[in-house]
Structure 1
Amino acid sequence: MASSGATLWVVATPIGNLEDFSPRAREVLQSVALIAAEDTRHSRRLTGHLGIATPLVSLHEHNEIARTREIVERLAAGDSVAVISDAGTPLISDPGYQLVSAVRAAGYAVLTVPGPCAAIAALSVAGLPTDRFAFEGFLPAKAGPRRQRLANLYDETRTLVCYESSHRIAATAADLAAVFGERIVVVARELTKLHEQSASMAASALPDWLAADGNRRRGEFVLVIAGAPTPPAPGSDVSLDALLAELLPLAGTKKAATIAARLTGVARNTAYDRALALAD
């Protein structure tokens, strides 16, 4: 077990508004011997703005293994090091996992300066259940794997949170519409920045909403998706009509009938006919 007071600090940085940078975060970045940053060019703008002169080195997906060895050596020499990402909380869809794991294995302290995180910021304003949620990070870039990932998540009862980029948001919106139908989706973009915007709608409406204004397809996106209705507990007495009444606002008639049939044991055609009647 390492005995020095050297520490790896995991420091959150603003996702847009620089006023969100905490005094404690500034103090830590000024006090350490080295800052490991995802993109040193980007981070120098932040540290320069804040008057922080601590040296920076890069830490990204292509050099993390080699850089981890160097940082552990710095800790062994008694230096404390901070790790930051381009924006938000490090390691959340960003590099750093291997570094933190290696530093812990070497016996050095790993401490956090918490702060901005786009996923949590979007979840907090979405108006969807927050007691249980699943963070999916970035969805696959290619259409086929992305559609399959979304299909695999269709029955997930927790609120879903994922990231998306401006050049894929339109294609992802089309996939969300196809898979989730009338399930509620909250799209949040440019959080804490000048053109911050969030809107809640059925997944089926998202492609048209994006197409209505070119500005809506700009920036960095967080998508918050309502979870599937929770299945009734075994042995509970839930009628077909009651179950369909809960499902229909969240899914199309066909999908609502399929889920209701599976949960109640009635024939799918029976559930579909009843769903049509209730929808009318």
Structure 2
Amino acid sequence: MTESNSGTLYVVATPIGNLDDFAPRAQRTLAKVALIAAEDTRHTARLLNHLGLERPMMSLHEHNEAQRVEQLVARLESGDDVALVSDAGTPLIADPGFVLVRALRERGHRVVPVPGPCALIAALSAAGLPTDRFLFAGFLPAKGGARRARIGELAERAETWLFYESPHRIHATLADLQALLGERRIVIARELTKTFETYLQGSAATLLERLASDSNQARGEFVVMVAGAPPADTEGGWVEGATLLRALLAEGVGVKQAAAVAAELLGGRKKAWYARAMSLQADG
């Protein structure tokens, strides 16, 4: 069947909290498709009920996405249009859908975005951090060692970087950011577009104090945004330091000890050199 005769997959963004943010085009799309592939059909059923719609649904999440591809290809080749939605926001952005969209693109099927809410863009637009360049890191690793190594890799990035975090890990993540980034400016956004939407800013230590003083601030889903690394000349000469750190690490010197040597010889904060050494070690 040619592409012109097959159905279309619509990648539909849904509200991240406030249902008034649901675009009219997105609503019309869900109303007309033959099938909705939803991350959680129960969650999407509540959205459809709010819109007064009834549509057939199929679950598509991280555990079954690969198995759903052939089923959805068959529906499209029969001429059916299908909508892909996640629980909130834009599908594929730290949500399922990549495996399906890649497979459909490789087979020549039509994939159409229906844009709308996205938590990372919403958070960044109101954070007061530079937005001319930014890096989205998805979710950081859940285990402490891997998470600290990832932060070490990101610490030297010049652009703003951001990631999603859950309420049960936000304290541990902020503690890691405090240890590795010191006074670097951080903004956290929670409960975006909802009644208790909140932005907090300051160093990681300041944010930890705020969360400790008000347990409500640790509830909800978070977007954590981190200012980019300061210019090289304020951190002791990154280029020269990288050469030194690589040499020390190659000789078997530990990361902490290598960072201390770099700080002693080149100046700058030990924590900054530690983050740099962690990144170099991770890169091999």
Kindly indicate whether residue 28 of structure 2 is the aligned counterpart of residue 27 of structure 1.
Answer: yes
2: CA distance between counterparts of 1:77 and 1:141? Answer: 42
Deviation of residue 268 (structure 1)?
5.3
2:152 counterpart residue number: 151
2: CA distance between counterparts of 1:70 and 1:163? Answer: 31
2:105 counterpart residue number: 104
Deviation of residue 261 (structure 1)?
6.6
2:271 counterpart residue number: none
1:196 counterpart residue number: 197
1:224 counterpart residue number: 225
Measured at CA, do residues 121 and 205 of structure 1 come closer, stay the same or move farther in structure 2, by a change above 3 Å?
Answer: same
1:272 counterpart residue number: 267
1: CA distance between counterparts of 2:88 and 2:263? Answer: 48
Residue deviations 1:12-52, cap 9 Å, x none?
A: 00000000001110000000000000000111000111011
1:213 counterpart residue number: 214
Deviation of residue 270 (structure 1)?
6.7
Contact 1:88–1:117 (CA under 8 A) maintained in structure 2: yes
Query: What secondary structure sits across from 2:150 in the alignment?
Result: helix
1: CA distance between counterparts of 2:210 and 2:175? Answer: 11
- % of aligned pairs identical? 55
Alignment-mate amino acid for residue 176 of structure 2: D
Alignment-mate amino acid for residue 77 of structure 2: A
1:48 counterpart residue number: 49
Alignment-mate amino acid for residue 21 of structure 1: F
2:251 counterpart residue number: none
Alignment-mate amino acid for residue 109 of structure 1: R
2: CA distance between counterparts of 1:259 and 1:105? Answer: 42
Measured at CA, do residues 257 and 25 of structure 1 come closer, stay the same or move farther in structure 2, by a change above 3 Å?
Answer: same
Query: What secondary structure sits across from 2:94 in the alignment?
Result: coil
1:186 counterpart residue number: 187
Contact 1:258–1:268 (CA under 8 A) maintained in structure 2: no
2: CA distance between counterparts of 1:25 and 1:5? Answer: 21
Alignment-mate amino acid for residue 126 of structure 1: A
The 5-angstrom pairing of residues 1-280 of structure 1 reads 2-231=3-232, 243-244=233-234, 256-257=235-236, 259=238, 262=241, 269=264, 272=267
Q: Normalization by structure 2: what TM-score?
A: 0.83
Query: What secondary structure sits across from 2:71 in the alignment?
Result: helix
Residue deviations 1:87-140, cap 9 Å, x none?
A: 000000001001101111221111011011011111111111111110001111
Contact 2:35–2:82 (CA under 8 A) maintained in structure 1: yes
Name the Cα RMSD after superposition: 2.1
Alignment-mate amino acid for residue 113 of structure 2: T
Contact 2:192–2:198 (CA under 8 A) maintained in structure 1: yes
1: CA distance between counterparts of 2:73 and 2:24? Answer: 27
Instruction: Give the length in aligned residue pairs.
Output: 251
Measured at CA, do residues 268 and 223 of structure 1 come closer, stay the same or move farther in structure 2, by a change above 3 Å?
Answer: closer
Contact 1:177–1:205 (CA under 8 A) maintained in structure 2: no
2: CA distance between counterparts of 1:195 and 1:103? Answer: 39
Moved over 2 A (4+): 256-263, 267-273
Deviation of residue 257 (structure 1)?
3.8
2: CA distance between counterparts of 1:156 and 1:137? Answer: 16
Contact 1:178–1:204 (CA under 8 A) maintained in structure 2: no
Query: What secondary structure sits across from 1:222 in the alignment?
Result: strand
Query: What secondary structure sits across from 2:5 in the alignment?
Result: coil
